Amino acid sequence: MIPTKPSFGQAPLDCPLCPRLVAFREANRAKYPGFFNNPVPSFGSLEAEFLVVGLAPGLKGANQTGRPFTGDYAGKVLYEALALHGFGKGTYQERPDDEFTLVNCRITNAVRCVPPENKPTPEEAMTCRPFLEAEIAAMPKLKVILSLGLTSHAAVCKTLSIRQSQHPFGHGKWWDVSYKGRTVRLIDSYHSSRYNIQTNRLTQGMFNDIIKQVKAWL
């Protein structure tokens, strides 16, 4: 049973939709009983103008802490840039109870459950997309969506009903998209993953520049 209108774009705890991800969740519950081990809810207000869409929770990051990007390397890069440009209040301390809050920004993931080896299948991304669609529909002031990486970009393109062939993924590329009577700006960045930083595909400075650009637009 696929929920067509999930409330506010949140996958329910114990979401049953993707058999492989359910099996992985159950294995993780046995192995890491102290972890969150559920679909990770988005962070930040639905009233925000800026939505960051990541890939999926990291096993020992968001899947452990229950807050997107919290507790893993990708989060350090993301939260540093957000705080630098006024999208955060307080000090990010890699814990969900660090009292760090987002300002005019919300963070979610294209796939809400942790996937094995950080790789959701295309089918899992498709199955999870109704949650993103509902979330975007529930953000009345939304102006800018930042996609982190190709899977996020593909999910956002499908959600906004635009063709990926005409909007190919590229770091720093952006488009204004008409969507249900409003205009939303979509911008891409390489994902803030440890791999991308260690291989120098992305630097903290490059990522800060993307967030700075978003700040200038809003």
Contact predicate 107/14, CB 8 Å: no
Applying CB under 6 A, does 58 fall inside the site for ligand URA? Answer: yes
| 121 to 39, 66, 154, 169: CA distances (angstroms) | 16, 22, 12, 18
Q: Give the whole-angstrom CA distance, residue 131 versus residue 204.
A: 30
Kindly state the tokens that stand for 52.
Answer: 């960051």
Residue nearest to ligand URA (CB): 54
Kindly state the tokens that stand for 69.
Answer: 């990007």
Kindly state the tokens that stand for 126.
Answer: 């498709």
Please select the residue that binds ligand URA; options are 68, 88, 115, 130, rule is CB under 6 A: 68
Kindly state the tokens that stand for 6.
Answer: 């999930």
Please select the residue that binds ligand URA; options are 6, 57, 66, 88, rule is CB under 6 A: 57
Cβ distance to ligand URA smaller for residue 78 or 144: 78
Please select the residue that binds ligand URA; options are 69, 87, 100, 190, rule is CB under 6 A: 69
Q: Identify any residues that bridge with 142 across adjacent strands, giving them in sequence order.
A: none
In the complex, what is the shortest distance from the CB of residue 178 to ligand URA, in angstroms, rounded to a whole number?
27
Please select the residue that binds ligand URA; options are 11, 55, 157, 214, rule is CB under 6 A: 55
Applying CB under 6 A, does 62 fall inside the site for ligand URA? Answer: yes
Site string for ligand URA, 98-117 (x = CB under 6 A): -----------x--------
| Pairing label, strands 43-44, 105-109 | antiparallel
Which stretches of the chain bind ligand URA, using CB under 6 A?
54-58, 61-62, 68-69, 72, 74, 109
